[in-house]
Amino acid sequence: MYSTDNHPAGRPDPATPGPLPLRVVLYTEAPAPGGVTKVVEWLACGMRSRAAFTVVHQPRSAMNAWADETAHVSGAKTSATALKNSSGIGGWFDFPGLLKLRNTLKDAEIVHLHMHTPFSCLPVVWLSRFAGKKTIVATEHYIPQLRFLRRRPLPLPLRLVREIRNMFLLTAKRLTMGHISRIVTVSDANRTLLLENIGTHHAPRVVTIPNGVPVKHSPAAGAPQRIVDSEWHNRFPVLCTVAALNNQKGHRYLIESLPSVVHEFPNTLSLMVGSGPLLGELQDLVRVRGMDGHVLFLGERNDVEAILRKSHLFVLPSLFEGMPLSLLEAMEAGLPVVATGVDGTTEVVVAGETGLLVPPENSKALAEAIRRLAADRPLCNSMGESGRTRVRSLFSSDIMVDAYHRLYLQVLHREH
């Protein structure tokens, strides 16, 4: 978390001459705190002396608490007027919500949309245009989700409904993209996929700004020392996964890999941090695989950094990713990683140097990679150190914040 300074956070010292800060709305329809909200928070904190932010979020209890904390550390204003855009469709017909949101947007110079799904925020682009806002920036956090629109098997009538919905949303997205000043993707792989779906003629307005995480610029060399937890002092390896318990994150493949790992390393412990709709199903799978005692579901935690320091390996078996913040945070904590070679993950992890990459949905390959690292502690230490150095040099939140600030200035200069 960023620290506050001696002046009110988010506002420059009134005695200091200089230009007025930018007026920026940071908008998200995310239903719960997660990776997207972390980026919003870090932008508001990191740019607090250069921009006056209003963070717009959904009126949900978890989001209200997150917004209050963000306001406290950044000085940003908050507004619980984001659309309840259910399935990417509901926001189009939420006329009272659109009117409230229009009032929230009226004084902004820049409306910065953080799209937590490929189809979130689209009505807000049109609303911003009608409200006279010329400068709209949109960050596509999860465009790879487009590959999975038809993944879930459904009866024929429901498949037809899904196809109609997808056709409507894809058409709406293509029509909407032309009204956005700059479209940001969080990895080059995501940029390529986006252009394949909306048309390459949008390429001049699509830029890549990788996600970043706060780093601790301590003078000590090498990866930080692991903390030995009294409860887990005899467990090795301690695997850590920080991710929502949903179909995207692939927890089931990690659980299916564990019997092979436990056979070679009987004291293996897998820590799963996060909550989600698959909790019960994953707990059942743990019992079926005989992994009781080797898996702990820790739920939502506010001490993730400490948990990472008590772990030996970070594992992220996702089916798709934008650019996973949990992976960056694990590498900053000095952990070697085992991850699936998908989308933005391949631009973070250097295979064989900062961790190992395996194909998605492949429990056997996952088990082999975990066993390989668990059997070679010097390699783990080397990868942890290399990963931490890589995050500090390429994926810090300071780098991300500066890139967005330059982007804001560029679009305002061009359009005004």
Q: In this structure, what token pair is assigned to residue 364?
A: 């056997």
* Domain count of the fold of the chain: 2
Strands (E), 44-195: 51-56, 77-79, 110-115, 136-140, 182-185
Q: How far apart are the C-alpha atoms of 192 and 346, rounded to whole Å?
A: 14
In a domain, 5, yes or no: no
Q: In this structure, what token pair is assigned to residue 339?
A: 């991850």
Q: Give which of 278, 283, 282 is closest to 246, Cα–Cα.
A: 278
Q: How far apart are the C-alpha atoms of 259 and 294, rounded to whole Å?
A: 9
Tell whether 202 and 61 lie within a shared domain. Answer: yes
Domain that holds residue 410: 22-213+396-415
Tell whether 78 and 137 lie within a shared domain. Answer: yes
The CATH number for 39's domain is: 3.40.50.2000
In a domain, 205, yes or no: yes
Tell whether 170 and 256 lie within a shared domain. Answer: no
Helices (H) and strands (E) in the chain, counts: 14, 13
Tell whether 287 and 359 lie within a shared domain. Answer: yes
Question: pLDDT for 314-364, tens place per residue?
Answer: 999 999 999 999 999 999 999 999 999 999 999 999 999 999 999 999 999
Tell whether 52 and 72 lie within a shared domain. Answer: yes
In a domain, 229, yes or no: no
In a domain, 411, yes or no: yes
Write down the pTM of the prediction. Answer: 0.90
Tell whether 184 and 269 lie within a shared domain. Answer: no
The packing angle between helices 377-394 and 363-374, to 10°, is 100
In a domain, 15, yes or no: no
Question: How big is the chain by its Cα radius of gyration, in Å?
Answer: 22
Tell whether 155 and 35 lie within a shared domain. Answer: yes
Tell whether 352 and 242 lie within a shared domain. Answer: yes
User: pLDDT tens digits for the chain (416 residues)?
Assistant: 333 333 333 333 434 445 568 999 999 999 999 999 999 999 999 999 999 999 999 999 999 999 999 999 999 999 999 998 887 888 899 999 999 999 999 889 999 999 999 999 999 999 998 888 779 999 999 999 998 888 888 899 999 999 999 999 999 999 999 999 999 999 999 999 999 999 999 999 999 999 999 998 654 444 455 555 556 768 899 999 999 999 999 999 999 999 999 999 999 999 999 999 999 999 999 999 999 999 999 999 989 999 999 999 999 999 999 999 999 999 999 999 999 999 999 999 999 999 999 999 999 999 999 999 999 999 999 999 999 999 999 999 999 999 999 999 999 986 55
The three-point CA angle 31-36-41 to 5° equals 105
| pLDDT of amino acid 415 | 59
Tell whether 85 and 65 lie within a shared domain. Answer: yes
In a domain, 106, yes or no: yes
Q: Judge whether 224 and 333 are in contact, CB under 8 Å.
A: yes
| Tokens 């009134």 found at | 14
Tell whether 302 and 411 lie within a shared domain. Answer: no
Tell whether 206 and 243 lie within a shared domain. Answer: no
Tell whether 199 and 295 lie within a shared domain. Answer: no
Q: How far apart are the C-alpha atoms of 124 and 312, rounded to whole Å?
A: 43
